[in-house]
Amino acid sequence: MNQKNATTQAESTATGHAPAGHPAIKPPKIGVILLNLGTPDGTEFGPMWRYLREFLSDPRVIELPKPIWYPILYGLVLTTRPKKSGANYKKIWNTERNESPLRTYTRAQSERLAEALTDLPTVVVDWAMRYGNPSTESVAKRLVEQGCTRILTFPLYPQYSATTTATANDKLFRALMKMRNQPAIRSVPAYYDEPVYIEALANSITRHLATLDFEPEVILASYHGIPKPYSDRGDPYRAHCLETTRLLRERLGWDEKKLTTTFQSRFGAQEWLQPYTDKTVEKLAREGVKSIAVVNPGFSVDCIETLEEIAVEASEIFHHAGGKNFAHIPCLNDSRDGMAVIEALVRRELSGWA
């Protein structure tokens, strides 16, 4: 059935045999939002300051009381970190589009998903950011204006954490609070153990290793860290990460020495989930390991944390400590395997709607 016939049928079903003067009811549509973490609009101080302020003001991210945290945030962090972060973003910036790779890849995922779902003519696919632009609120509003009475939101985090998935959902729900005519909402759950996701990771790793002129002695599965107290209070993130690595290890036929879990991107003075990626990379090199690779299963697309922190910084740490061969395995991004994961989960969660 083509889109014109489907629309005509939907209109007929919606209106039935309504009497003259009956209010018109538009055929309903279904929105799908691919929701990623966020990105600054530029690498200059101003855009970086605005992005970091929004990100680091989120109580899901920094759980300190505002009277304690805000003087630190506005008095120290936001006066020094925007310049440093901007310099790091410049190293990986998509100069052709004048945007971060995270925005480039998330848009591409949305476009490819829309192409894959052409057999569902009532489905409208869009993408948004939790922090920065396009904002979650603006995209949700746009979908409602297009006639979407139901919205499936897809937080692009395989492993659940209150610092990522929960705050993404919070942002959407706050947008709904401003709407008189709210759509029905579903959210794709964490998919850290989904067979299609594990298979996609395994295929991606295998293909990339085949392109190297060396064989890594150790491969690190490096996940974004969270403060250890968050985990101690019940956040399931650490368990999800460990399970992803276990399933991936099982799928590839490797032991714990070959594929091990580490955590990166710590911020501040408190203890975060361990072992730390940077310390592990340095330790391996000093122990005589000459060849390693790092994969980032917790990131749906390549971004500052993978392209700069791992591919650049971790590589420098490894070589400086005596290592020889270092490889960063790209994220799934909008690859065939990556899109297979997104499409499979979206189709499943649309069941009964589309």
Q: Which residues are annotated as a binding site for Fe(2+)?
A: 224, 305
Q: Which two tokens stand for residue 194?
A: 């989904």
Could you give phi then psi for residue 232, rounded to 5 degrees? -65, -30
DSSP 3-state of 209? helix
**β-pairing verdict for 148-155 and 29-39:** parallel
Indicate the DSSP class of residue 133.
Answer: S
Which region holds residue 132: left if phi is over 0, alpha if psi is between -120 and 50, else beta?
Answer: left
Dihedral angle of Cα 45, 47, 48, 53, to the nearest 10 degrees: 120
Which region holds residue 21: left if phi is over 0, alpha if psi is between -120 and 50, else beta?
Answer: left
Annotated binding-site residue numbers: 224, 305
CA 20 to chain centre: 49
Q: Specify which residues 186 forms β-bridges with.
A: 152
Find the distance separating the first CA and the last CA of the chain, reported in whole Å: 14
What is the Cα gyration radius of the chain?
Answer: 22
